[in-house]
């Protein structure tokens, strides 16, 4: 494993993210939105995610502006990053596929919205957030730079902690006791082990 290969693996992850997200976004737009909580904060945190997970690493990989924050590359750390990136892509794909027309990039409830509690969602409520955390971790392991490597984790943290409460409140409002029961049998990000 070399820094160049690690950077290519990061880039492949970004391309996979786009290849999964773009068609799902087009499909989702065909289903009418009946309620939303789209705010300036919501849009800002989504934008910060793009900056931290895509723009800052691209700046690092295409210029020397962030070279002051480089640290020694470790092939073993990059190998762990490769595994995290592969799991990110798999979880991201499956979470989109299982949500199907219920998915939205922002906090929205769509017409005929269903509480998805099968597949990954039978074990965790937010596998897409889990996948984003893995993307941020993979980036930190693949890009040996304190700024570009960790900008993804910071961006995901900002998105997650500013959004999760609102998202769960919206689902609770939409699905009531069914959502409360679902929350009792699942965890947010990591499945219950016992």
Residue 134 lies in a domain: yes
Q: 9 in a domain, yes or no?
A: yes
Do the domain assignments include residue 192?
no
Contact at 8 Å (CB) between 13 and 138? yes
pTM of the shown model: 0.89
pLDDT along the chain (194 residues), means of 10: 96 96 75 70 89 97 96 96 97 89 70 81 90 97 97 95 86 86 85 68
Report the candidate in 142, 117, 143, 121 with the shortest Cα–Cα distance to residue 131: 121
Rounded CA separation 55/32 (Å) = 31
The DSSP 8-state label assigned to residue 32 in this structure reads P
Domain membership of residue 7 (yes or no) is yes
The CATH code of the domain that includes 26 is: 1.20.120.1630
- And the tokens for 85? 């990136």
Q: Indicate the SS3 state at residue 144.
A: coil
Of 114, 106, 113, 158, nearest to 132 (Cα)? 158
Number of domains in the chain: 1
pLDDT value of position 75: 97
User: Which residue range(s) make up the domain with 61?
Assistant: 3-30+38-104+115-185
Residue 53 included in any domain: yes
Is residue 173 assigned to a domain?
yes
In a domain, 194, yes or no: no
């Amino acid at each position: 494993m070399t820094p160049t290969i690690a950077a290519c693996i990061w880039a492949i992850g970004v391309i996979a993210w786009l290849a999964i997200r773009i068609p799902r976004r087009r499909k989702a737009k065909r289903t009418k939105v009946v309620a939303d909580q789209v705010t300036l904060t919501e849009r800002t945190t989504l934008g910060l995610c793009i900056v931290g997970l895509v723009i800052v690493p691209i700046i690092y990989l295409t210029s020397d502006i962030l070279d002051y924050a480089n640290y020694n590359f470790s092939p073993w750390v990059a190998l762990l990053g490769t595994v995290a990136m592969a799991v990110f892509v798999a979880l991201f794909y499956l979470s989109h596929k299982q949500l199907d027309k219920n998915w939205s990039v922002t906090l929205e409830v769509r017409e005929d919205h269903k509480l998805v509690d099968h597949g990954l969602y039978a074990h965790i409520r937010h596998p897409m957030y889990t996948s984003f955390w893995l993307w941020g971790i993979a980036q930190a392991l693949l890009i040996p730079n304190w700024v570009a490597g960790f900008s993804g984790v910071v961006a995901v943290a900002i998105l997650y902690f500013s959004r999760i409460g609102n998202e769960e409140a919206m689902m609770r409002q939409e699905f009531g006791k069914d959502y409360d029961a679902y929350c009792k049998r699942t965890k947010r990000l990591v499945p219950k082990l016992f």
